[in-house]
Amino acid sequence: MLNQPMVVGVIDMDEQRSHIISALVLHRPGVLQRVAGLFTRRGFNIETITVGTSEQDDMARMTIIARGDGKVLEQITKQLNKLIDVIKVRDLEPENTVERELCLIKVHAPAEHVRSEVIQYANIFRGRIIDVGIETLTIEITGTPDKIEALIDLLRVFGIKEIARTGPTAISRGTKII
Amino acid sequence: MKGGEAIIKSLQDHGVDVVFGYPGGVLLPLYDVIYDSDLKHILVRHEQCAAHAADGYARASGKVGVCIGTSGPGATNLVTGIATAYMDSSPIIAIAGQVGTSLIGKDAFQEVDTLGITMPITKHNFQAMKADEIPGMIKAGFYIAKTGRPGPIVLDLPKDVQEEEFDYKKDLKIDLPGYKPTKKGHTLQIKKAANLILESKKPVILAGGGVIHSKSSAELLKLSELIRAPVTTTLMGKGSFPEDHKLSLGMLGMHGRKVANIVVDECDCLIAIGCRFSDRTTGNVEEFASKAKIIHIDVDPAEIGKNIDVNVPIVGDAKNTLTSLIRNITNIKISAENVTKAKKWTDYIFDFKNNCMPRLSFEDVPLKPQQVIKEIMESVDKDTIVTTDVGQNQMWMAHYFTSKIPRTFLSSGGLGTMGFGFPAAMGAKVALPESDVVSVCGDGGFLMVCQELATIKEYDIPIVVCVLDNRYLGMVAQWQKLFYDGRISHTRLGDVPDFVKLAEAFGVKGEKVERPGEMKETLKNALNSGEPTIIDVIIDPDEILPMVPPGCGLTEIVGEYKVEREFSGEIPYVKPAHGGGGD
């Protein structure tokens, strides 16, 4: 490890990591296809994409998680910016960004003791039980993708019937807006 | 007003005087409007050629070209032409008919997802679901097509929308919050570039199609002479700099001039203007201009750093940026030392260039393409528009033909579309009827679009098509000879057709050229006759153009580079006309 150069305070362009891209787009038919198509055509990888309305009536905000090094990300943002229906694009800095994901997990829980255990785990993770069936419990959990992963891992032993995740959405901290 | 009327009115309001099209079921309402309109409509014989003709029209004139095709197969036939325009940043508007709005998504007769299909090959596309959207879409379409980095626009037009009545409003405002092309280069970056250029000992300029789009040939010439930097061009940049100028190196790249490839490898500062560093231009990117600091000027920010890492990126329109760069350089005091080192560099270039001018004169029969091109050059004016097809004919023309002014060398660069040359020439002639238009094609590419002989006959579009006839898909065969042990797999085209008879079947004059000297005479006569003419030029199928194999550095040229033996040692220096030479 002694010979490894330390990177302090500079962006390492070669580092492969997941980036959170926030894009403000016109709320129009076809805009999701334009964005998704661009990723496919240019060989960029989308891990997740979420779309919803924004603070402006005719605009939507997309949060895209994409993996790549600095160069790839630069190309992604530039190519996105070229789309006429895309208003603004930003690669959010992880340390100045709040990121949340919603996940619904349907767990196999037919027996009483299993149910109470599942409910306890849900509580620890600040999840809620939103549906109770004869053999299943459905948990709603919100948080960072890591936290959700951790709960899913714990619940696996009981048998997970179904998972539905929104993919993360994100916003920058403080007064900064895009 | 009806939707269909609004289309024609909007087109005419934007200065469109001619459209290339092919009608169909869903276009009946639009064509019914065209019936009464004074808009000139040229009925092509295949939609692909409508798009190529509109593209040729745009490239030759700098105006937006318009083409029309029906829904389904009409739209898919337009696709190749639209993609061609997209890759070469050519501003065209393609209007595609669509099934009625109530039928969309029902797999109706001749329905296709035109919007989805053309998304990756257009700068932007629109679908009008109501007639009152049409004028705004056309206005926005023209604006987007011709500003910033130009490109094609598709307008998808359902049948019922063409018939729908609405109130046409004048003085329409359009709002495109997501489209703000950068014009002016960053001042500090330009200053940095100026300093870098003056510190360099061996500067070279690489000019691309952006120089032509931004009408900055005069600025390019000025910069080149100011800093005494030789100029090489990409295929799309051909014509942006006078190739008979002492500082011209000709085209760079896989099939580029030897002098250009070697000088770019040697240079210590490369000033790239309006180009996108295509793989055909750079060869192996690791070895490309490896000793040079690179300045890249481009209006499209996404081109910067896409293929090549650059030292000084400048996002901006070439004309604006070059003007400012020239001003910056002029403001810096040039030392005697600068002058000496510039002279040393250009002396070396002139000497080197003189020693590797490609040989053009051959007495052989069958004809060598070099000799044919030499005779073509002897028969045309400097403002004659030449179009090429794709393949050997294109690279021979790019390599040997001397282009002097912008918009006179039209070729499908990025997409490499066989069948482009002939219909593009048709479009160019329609745009500029006063200019001579000569298309140099191969026999393969010409045959792909030969049905347009009917169009040039019917509309009397007097272009001359020189078919370089070697009965091979020459470029692919060349690669088979060089890299696949000469295994000529399916690139021999056989003995049919007889191109003279083919032309005659359409009532077009057909000529045959087989010996040195005949080309010049035949072409001159054809151009003087004012009639459309096809010249079947029988050439040597074994002639190959030296090339850089894919994945190699630009200096690794294979094949014998034949140089002009009886070179006089003095290239005629053409005094540049300052201020002129723009568009």
Q: Where are the domains of chain B?
A: 3-163, 187-355, 369-538
- The mean pLDDT value for B216-238 works out to 97
* pLDDT score recorded for residue B302: 96
* pLDDT score recorded for residue A5: 44
**Is B448 a catalytic site residue?**
no
* pLDDT score recorded for residue B86: 98
Express each pLDDT in B330-354 by its tens digit. 998 778 888 888 899 999 999 999 9
* pLDDT score recorded for residue B335: 80
- The mean pLDDT value for B445-473 works out to 98
**Is B47 a catalytic site residue?**
yes
Query: Domain spanning B187-355 has what CATH number?
Result: 3.40.50.1220
Asked whether this chain's domains B3-163 and B369-538 adopt the same fold, the reply is: yes
Q: How confident is the model at residue A175 (pLDDT cuts 50, 70, 90)?
A: confident
Q: Which residue of A has its CA nearest to B122?
A: A83
* pLDDT score recorded for residue B573: 38
Q: What percent of chain B has pLDDT over 90?
A: 91
- The mean pLDDT value for B478-483 works out to 92
pLDDT of residue A7 exceeding 80: no
Express each pLDDT in A8-41 by its tens digit. 445 567 788 999 999 999 999 899 999 999 999 9
Q: Which of B133, B125, B100 is nearest to B3 (CA)?
A: B133
Question: CB A26 to CB B115 under 8 A?
Answer: no
Task: Determine which of A80-94, B162-176, B314-328, B528-542 has the lowest per-residue pLDDT on average.
Answer: B162-176
DSSP H or E segment with residue B258? helix B258-266
The CA radius of gyration of chain B, in Å to the nearest whole number, is 24
For CATH 3.30.70.1150, the residue range(s) in chain A are: 98-172
Express each pLDDT in A41-59 by its tens digit. 999 989 999 999 999 999 9
Architecture of domain A98-172: 2-Layer Sandwich (3.30)
In B111-152 the beta strands, taken as DSSP E runs, fall at 124-127
- Listed by number, the residues of chain A in 24-43 with a beta carbon closer than 8 Å to a beta carbon of chain B are 25-26, 30, 33-34, 37-38, 41
The CA radius of gyration of chain A, in Å to the nearest whole number, is 20
* pLDDT score recorded for residue A10: 52
Architecture of domain B3-163: 3-Layer(aba) Sandwich (3.40)
* pLDDT score recorded for residue B571: 43
Mean pLDDT (chain B) is: 94
Q: Which of B12, B40, B106, B109 is catalytic?
A: B109
pLDDT of residue B578 exceeding 80: no
**Side-chain-side CA neighbours of residue B505 (13 Å):** 10
- The mean pLDDT value for B500-523 works out to 98
Express each pLDDT in B154-207 by its tens digit. 999 999 999 999 999 877 889 999 999 988 999 999 999 999 999 999 999 999
pLDDT of residue B126 exceeding 50: yes
DSSP H helices in B432-532: 443-448, 453-458, 474-483, 499-505, 518-529
Residues in chain B within 8 Å Cβ distance of A33? 116, 119
- Do β-strands A97-108 and A160-165 pair in parallel, antiparallel, or remain unpaired? antiparallel
Question: CB B115 to CB A30 under 8 A?
Answer: yes
Q: Which residue of B has its CA nearest to A81?
A: B178
- The C-alpha of B179 sits at a distance from chain A's nearest C-alpha, in angstroms, of 5
pLDDT of residue B94 exceeding 70: yes
Task: Determine which of B12-21, B163-172, B303-312 has the lowest per-residue pLDDT on average.
Answer: B163-172
C-alpha B31/C-alpha B41 separation (Å) is 10
CATH 3.30.70.260 for domain A17-92, yes or no, is yes
pLDDT of residue B387 exceeding 70: yes
Which ipTM value was assigned to this complex?
Answer: 0.90
Looking at this protein, which amino acid is placed at residue B252? Answer: L
Residue A58 sits at the chain B interface (C-beta within 8 Å): no
Express each pLDDT in B286-295 by its tens digit. 999 999 999 9
- The C-alpha of B304 sits at a distance from chain A's nearest C-alpha, in angstroms, of 9
* pLDDT score recorded for residue B325: 97
Residue A85 sits at the chain B interface (C-beta within 8 Å): yes
C-alpha B88/C-alpha B388 separation (Å) is 14
Question: CB A82 to CB B176 under 8 A?
Answer: no
Question: CB B119 to CB A33 under 8 A?
Answer: yes
- The mean pLDDT value for B222-227 works out to 95
- Axis-axis angle for helices B474-483, B392-400 (nearest 10): 90
Question: CB B306 to CB A86 under 8 A?
Answer: no
Question: CB A74 to CB B123 under 8 A?
Answer: no
- The mean pLDDT value for B201-221 works out to 97
- Strand, coil or helix: A32: helix
CATH 3.40.50.970 for domain B369-538, yes or no, is yes
Q: Which of B236, B426, B475, B547 is catalytic?
A: B475
**What phi, psi does B509 have (nearest 5°)?**
-65, 135
Q: Which residues contact B15 (CB under 8 A, 6 or more apart)?
A: B63
Tell which of A33, A76, A84, A86 to mutate to test the B interface (max B CBs under 10 Å): A84
For CATH 3.30.70.260, the residue range(s) in chain A are: 17-92
* pLDDT score recorded for residue B486: 94
* pLDDT score recorded for residue B461: 98
Question: CB A75 to CB B300 under 8 A?
Answer: no
Question: CB A85 to CB B115 under 8 A?
Answer: no
**Is B159 a catalytic site residue?**
yes
For B30, B292, B449, B577, the CA distances from B170, given in Å and listed in that order, are 21, 54, 41, 43
